[in-house]
Amino acid sequence: SIAPTTGVTTLSNQVFPASQVFPAGHTLQTLIFYDSTQYSLASTAWQDIGHSGSITVGSGNKVLIQFSVHVHLVSAGSGIGWMILRDDGDGYDGLYSSPNNYYIYSAGANTRTSFSMNFIDTPGNTDGTSYKIQLRGYNTNTTLVNDEGSRTHMTLTEIVG
């Protein structure tokens, strides 16, 4: 897990009292996790790519999960699929994945691209929830993640439910 760069903004350095109630849809906290490690995918098995982070949210609140991945589809006929996983204390379970065996596909070689995803989750756990992203290859052709100095990110935002 990569240490978060916390994007928490306080209004004029105010601390809100515990009794403060915010309306539904209000953002309470945002955590941003970056990773610039290069990964190589050459398998159809799910593989961690360094996107992981934890957030503790209030009862009934939601988590907006956003991630962006930079990929290099090295060989013709390459592609990748993605999956969001959640651990609310009893191990990681798949939460949502790309609807096909692949999300990004290229018939040509040396295709560089990026993609971003957003997903809303209601974890139901106020003791802390961890999320991570996994990728898998469409086939055994090589796909690189974060090559040539690019970096990917995952953002976890608590939203009042």
User: Which residues lie across from 6 on neighbouring strands?
Assistant: 31
pLDDT of residue 147: 92
Task: Spell out a b/e string for 61-76, using b for 16 or more CB atoms within 10 Å of the CB, else e.
Answer: bbbebebebbbbbbbe
φ, ψ (nearest 5 deg) of residue 12: 50, 40
Pairing of strands 143-145, 92-97: unpaired
- Residue that is written with structure tokens 């790309």 in the block: 98
Whether the full predicted model's pTM is greater than 0.95, yes or no, is: no
Collapse the DSSP code of 127 into the 3-class scheme (helix H, G, I; strand E, B; otherwise coil) and give the result: coil
pLDDT of residue 14: 59
pLDDT values of the chain reduced to their tens digit, one per residue, 161 residues:
444 444 444 444 556 777 788 889 999 999 999 899 999 999 999 999 988 999 999 999 999 999 999 999 999 999 999 999 999 889 999 999 998 778 999 999 999 999 999 999 999 888 899 999 999 999 999 999 999 889 999 999 999 98
Strand ranges, E, within the chain = 5-6, 27-35, 39-41, 47-55, 62-73, 78-87, 92-97, 104-106, 111-121, 129-137, 143-145, 152-159
Collapse the DSSP code of 6 into the 3-class scheme (helix H, G, I; strand E, B; otherwise coil) and give the result: strand
